[in-house]
Amino acid sequence: MRIVSAAVDGFRNLHTAEFTFSPRVNLVLGRNGEGKTNLLEALNFFALGRSHRGAKSEELIHFKKDHLHVRLEIEEDSGALVSCEYGLGRDGGRRLRVDGAALRRRADLVGRLATVFFNPDSIRLVRGGPDRRRQFVDQGMAEIDPAYLTHLSAFQQVLRQKTRLLRDQRQGLVDAGQTRRELASWNREMANHAAAVCLGRRQYAEFLSPFFQEAHNSLIDNNLNLEFSYAARLESVTRAFSASPENPLPKEDLEGEILTELDYIMDSEIRRGRPLIGPQSDDFKVVLGGVDLRTYGSQGETRTAAIAMILARSDVLFQKRRIRPVLFFDDIFSELDRERTRRLQEMASHLHQVFIATARRDDIADWQPAQIKTWQVGEGGFSEI
């Protein structure tokens, strides 16, 4: 998949700009604060339906404008050209279109533009809290299995209902009998979606592992065993998975086990006034040569593992859906040594379209890939050099 061209109008400090990109390597150079990340954010927005920096729509609109508009021409891996547009207004207006037709639900966006984004924050995939790893796996699995996204959204919905019910009863708004009856019914629904989510997460960890190991071996010269594994929070799930590592038990059976556990902790949840355990607190282990990198990894080790993890996600997407995502590297090479930088650049640009933003030309010194295009950015304006 690649972005053929873009027309950007009023996105942060980018006034109006048009680009025709290289199918291989696109380099964006400029000093700090000139607008490099803004361009990558504008291109990546369509992939997620939101800013990868978590910015609100209103923050994305140029200070002096009332709306922004971005049009991308995308070439799918089949060779088909697709026109994707989005517009955001200060009045809260928000429109996303594919070939002129409006998209209504976030789920309609999945796979339209597949991207993978690396920035210095990516290290938190390994070092940060479990929510980072859950989000990584959830997004990865949703990309290859839309049914997973449906179960995950339904699970989150039930979790919100349960949280509200438990809070209401703590505040004395609902009596104990009604709380129990309603909890029993929410638990049944939750067990159904939780079983699908847990099976999906375990499956994704299995898909990812060999690619993770391979990407890691290519980045550094050692053959230490690298493991990415699912650490479920529910005991029933851990027990069920360790009892049959090869053949995960059928969903209905897992659902039954989860329901028993959820019902068992019902009294504690009522006492504490909130849901206590479930897939909402799952984690994933990242273990290199027997050492848990989440806790013991050095800066360099965790950074390399995080990069390998993200590259592996793009391999899974290709294996399952035949889609090669567009890769974005925002300011990450300055933190890697020269050898790793060069290997990553070669690996990434070999099969993908890549966008690299950097303030330091050194990062790409003596790297001369075929079909490279370079832009210099200054005060929100771009010139090709």
Ligand X SMILES: Nc1ncnc2c1ncn2[C@@H]1O[C@H](COP(=O)(O)OP(=O)(O)OP(=O)(O)O)[C@@H](O)[C@H]1O
Footprint of ligand X (CB under 6 A): 12-13, 30, 32-38, 59, 61-63, 331, 359
Q: What is the DSSP letter of 78?
A: T
38 scored as a contact of Mg ion (CB under 5 A): no
Minimum distance, C-beta of residue 26 to ligand X, in the bound complex (Å) = 15
Which residues have C-beta within 8 Å of that of residue 55, sequence separation ≥ 6?
41
CB of 19 to ligand X, least distance (A): 15
Strand partners, 26: 355, 373
Contacted entry of Mg ion, ligand X, none for residue 101, CB cut-off 5 to 8 Å set by kind: none
Q: Under a CB-based contact definition with an 8 Å cutoff, are residues 240 and 257 in contact?
A: yes
Q: Least distance (Å) from Mg ion to the CB of residue 263?
A: 50
Asked if 334 and 361 count as a contact pair (C-beta separation under 8 A), the reply is no
Residue with nearest beta carbon to Mg ion: 37
Residue with tokens 């796996």: 137
CB of 357 to ligand X, least distance (A): 6
Question: Least CB distance from residue 325 to Mg ion, whole Å?
Answer: 21
Q: Which ranges of the chain does DSSP label H, i.e. alpha helix? A: 36-48, 57-60, 124-127, 130-144, 146-170, 176-219, 235-243, 251-264, 266-272, 293-296, 299-321, 338-351
Contacting range for Mg ion; rule: CB under 5 A; set: 29-37, 87-95, 220-228, 280-288: 29-37
Residue 169, C-beta contacts closer than 8 angstroms, at least 6 positions apart: 175, 176, 179, 270, 273
Stretch that binds Mg ion, among 31-39, 56-64, 194-202, 256-264 (CB under 5 A): 31-39
| Length in residues, the chain | 385
Contact between 358 and Mg ion (CB under 5 A)?
A: no
The residue (of 85 and 330) whose beta carbon lies closer to Mg ion is 330
Binding residue for Mg ion, selected from 22, 26, 37, 179, defined by CB under 5 A: 37
Question: 67-75 and 381-384 as β-strands: parallel, antiparallel, unpaired?
Answer: unpaired
End-to-end CA distance of the chain: 25
Site for Mg ion in 281-320 (CB under 5 A): none
User: Is 12 or 151 the residue whose CB approaches ligand X more closely?
Assistant: 12
With beta carbons less than 8 A apart as the criterion, state whether 148 and 141 touch.
Answer: yes
Total residues contacting Mg ion by CB under 5 A comes to 1
If contact means CB under 5 to 8 A according to the sort of partner, which of ligand X, Mg ion, none does residue 38 touch? ligand X
The distance of closest approach from Cβ of residue 61 to ligand X in the complex, given in angstroms and rounded to an integer, is 6
SS3 73: strand
Pick 12 or 52: Cβ nearer ligand X: 12
User: Residue 196: which of 131, 139, 111, 253 has the closest Cα?
Assistant: 253
From 30-38, 53-61, 148-156, 242-250, span contacting Mg ion (CB under 5 A): 30-38
Name the residue nearer to Mg ion (CB basis): 63 or 221: 63
**Tokens 């339904």 correspond to what residue?**
154
**Minimum Å distance from CB 383 to ligand X?**
15
For binding to Mg ion (CB under 5 A), which residues are involved? 37
